[in-house]
Amino acid sequence: MARLILDGRILPLREEESVLECLLRHDVEVNYGCQAGVCQSCMLQSEGDLPEEAQKGLKETLRVQNYFLACQCQPQNDLVIKIPAKENFQAEVVSLERLTPEVVRLRLSVPEGFQYHPGQFLNLFHADQTRSYSLASLPNEPFLELHIRRVPGGLFSRWIFQRLTEGNRVEIGPAQGECFYTEGLPEQPILMIGTGTGLAPLYGILRDALTHGHEGDIRLYHGSSTPEGLYLQEELERLSSEHSNFSYVPCLSRGPAIEGVRSGRAVEIALAEHPDLKGWRVFLCGNPDMVKSAQRGCFLSGTSVRDIYTDPFLPAA
């Protein structure tokens, strides 16, 4: 008879019993909803192989992290499972660098046990406030990199810009989110559209894809309403010159034309230049209105819903 192993506790499974049913029978607290594999409320993680039906309907980014639907999983063999960790970590400020007057690059030490994919986000805590920031770094780099924009009147960004200094310790949450690169389709073309510091996750995803030898075309459109909002241009142009399959298009939605920068909204320029996106993988990050508009536009241009990954930067309440 198969067994579940959860935090060292052994839970025998009955015949044709799902993981969710077994956990509930043993009074284990776990979220669940429809119990039909639709709401995905009962998602857990495994440390071993899973039955195919346990991951049916999940995006590839969840599959590679060994997430599965407890209500749809009927193991035939012992299965080590875990409820996704929620514990926080302590990190040290390695450096703060002004990329522009309005954007700072914050680098933190990597806490022991902290795992992530470039493009995921983490929560940063200060006093009674919490903000989410996306990861621009790669796991082989000795730091976690966040790009933070100064928000007019924003208490959190003011703390980062004016008070936070090298050597300070901060509290961060575990990496979360599905917006990251996965291997398996190295020739698939990739479209990236970002606004403002929505470039941060795209910068991480881009470098991760190139590091893994992605062969398909990668097109990155970064938009801003002001020239100061366009940053890392030299680095992105360098990557473009080094990789024939990558091109970078900075876009300015307002003001006079600037040499080397497209005039107009990034999403409109990108969709106009790619009217047929069937078979493409798409990453959309930044302003929530842009993300929503681009998501609809990409879908209407042929992109499968399962190939669209989003990271809308929602304002603090």
Is residue 56 located within the same domain as residue 112? no
Percent of the chain surpassing pLDDT 90: 76
CA-nearest of 88, 91, 114, 89 to 168 is: 91
Q: Which residues span the domain enclosing 60? A: 3-82
Is residue 269 domain-resident?
yes
Residue 156 CA, distance from chain mean position = 21
Confidence of residue 200 (pLDDT cuts 50, 70, 90): very high
pLDDT at 249: 98
Contact at 8 Å (CB) between 119 and 202? yes
Is residue 155 located within the same domain as residue 206? no
The mean pLDDT value of the chain amounts to 92
- Give the single-character DSSP code of 13: P
pLDDT digits (tens, 9 = 90+) for 279-298: 999 999 999 999 999 999 99
Is residue 15 domain-resident?
yes
pLDDT digits (tens, 9 = 90+) for 91-110: 999 999 999 999 999 999 99
Domain count for the chain, please give it.
3
Is residue 222 domain-resident?
yes
CATH of the domain at 14: 3.10.20.30
Helix (H, G, I), strand (E, B) or coil at 255: coil
Is residue 149 located within the same domain as residue 249? no
Is residue 178 domain-resident?
no
- Least trusted range by pLDDT, from 37-51, 152-166, 175-189: 37-51
Is residue 180 domain-resident?
no
Q: Which residue has the higher pLDDT, 241 or 257?
A: 241
Is residue 71 located within the same domain as residue 97? no
- Give the single-character DSSP code of 53: G
Would the pTM count as exceeding 0.75? yes
How far apart CA 216 and CA 246 sit, in angstroms, is 9
